[in-house]
Structure 1
Amino acid sequence: MSVYTQLTNDQFATFCQSFGVSFVRAIPITQGIKNSNWFIQTTDDVDGAYSYVLTLFEERPPADIEKMAVILNQLDGKLPVAAPLSVIESNSVQTDDDDKRYVIHYEDKAITLVPCLAGSHPEQTTQAMCHDIGAALAMLHETLQALQPAEQYGVPLYPWADVRDREMQFMPGDEAKLMSDIWRSYTELPLTTLPNGLCHLDMFADNTLWNLQKGEEHLTGLLDFTEVSVEHYVMDIAITINDFCTTWGMAEQGESVNFDRSKMAAFLQGYESKRALGLDEKRALPVMLAKAAVIFWLLRLNVIHYNRTEGRTGDNIMVKNPDLMKRLAAYHWAHVEKSQNTVFVLSGTTSDNQIIGVFSSITQAEQAREKLSNSSEFAIKEYTLDQLS
Structure 2
Amino acid sequence: MAVFTEVSFEEAAAFVSTLDVGQLTALRGIGAGIENTNYFVSTTQGEWVLTLFERLTYEQLPFYLHLMRHLAQRGIPVPEPRSDDNDQILHQLNGKPAALVNKLPGGHQLAPDLHHCEQVGEMLARMHLAGADFPLAQPNLRGLPWWQETVPVVLPFLTDDQKALITEELAFQTELAASAAHAGLPRGPVHADLFRDNVMFEGLPGRERLTGFFDFYFAGVDTYLFDIAVCLNDWCLDLDSGRGVDERAVAFVAAYERVRPLSSTERRLMPAMLRAGALRFWVSRLWDLHLPRDASMLKPHDPTHFERVLRARIATPWHPQGQRDE
Is the TM value for this pair above 0.5? yes
Contact 1:61 1:108 in 2 (8 A): no
1:185 alignment counterpart: 172
Contact 2:36 2:55 in 1 (8 A): yes
For 1:281-360, what aligned pairs fall within 5 Å after superposition? 281-307=266-292, 310=293, 312=294, 314=296, 316-336=297-317
1:363 corresponds to 2:320: yes
Partners in 2 of 1:126 and 1:229 — Cα distance? 28
1:195 alignment counterpart: 186
What is the CA distance between 1:247 and its match in structure 2? 4.1
What is the CA distance between 1:181 and its match in structure 2? 2.7
- Alignment partner of 2:207 out of 216, 233, 236: 216
Partners in 2 of 1:292 and 1:201 — Cα distance? 9
What is the CA distance between 1:42 and its match in structure 2? 1.5
1:133 alignment counterpart: 120
> Cα deviations across residues 166-219 of structure 1 (Å, max 9, x unaligned)?
112332121122222322332333321222111110111101100142231211
For 1:223-242, what aligned pairs fall within 5 Å after superposition? 223-242=214-233
1:57 alignment counterpart: 53
Partners in 2 of 1:110 and 1:301 — Cα distance? 27
Give the secondary-structure state (helix, strand or coil) at the position aligned to 1:162: helix
2:157 alignment counterpart: 170
Q: Percent same amino acid at aligned positions?
A: 28
1:204 corresponds to 2:180: no
Residue type at the aligned position of 1:319:
P
Say which structure, 1 or 2, has more relative contact order (CA 8 Å, 6+ apart).
Answer: 2
Contact 2:243 2:312 in 1 (8 A): no
2:41 alignment counterpart: 40
Contact 1:132 1:270 in 2 (8 A): yes
Give the secondary-structure state (helix, strand or coil) at the position aligned to 2:132: helix
Partners in 2 of 1:212 and 1:4 — Cα distance? 34
2:262 alignment counterpart: 277
1:18 alignment counterpart: 18
Partners in 2 of 1:144 and 1:285 — Cα distance? 22
Residue type at the aligned position of 2:14:
T
Contact 1:303 1:319 in 2 (8 A): yes
1:85 corresponds to 2:82: yes
Give the secondary-structure state (helix, strand or coil) at the position aligned to 2:273: helix
Partners in 1 of 2:194 and 2:259 — Cα distance? 17
The alignment's C-alpha RMSD in Å is 2.1
TM-score, reference length from structure 2: 0.90
1:103 corresponds to 2:90: yes
TM-score, reference length from structure 1: 0.76
Give the secondary-structure state (helix, strand or coil) at the position aligned to 1:227: coil
Structure 1, unaligned runs of 5 or more: 45-49, 90-99, 250-255, 337-360, 368-379, 385-389
Partners in 2 of 1:138 and 1:62 — Cα distance? 29
Structure 2, unaligned runs of 5 or more: none
Residue type at the aligned position of 1:110:
P
Give the secondary-structure state (helix, strand or coil) at the position aligned to 2:92: strand
What is the CA distance between 1:279 and its match in structure 2? 1.3
Contact 1:197 1:233 in 2 (8 A): yes
What is the CA distance between 1:121 and its match in structure 2? 0.7
- Alignment partner of 1:120 out of 102, 107, 112: 107
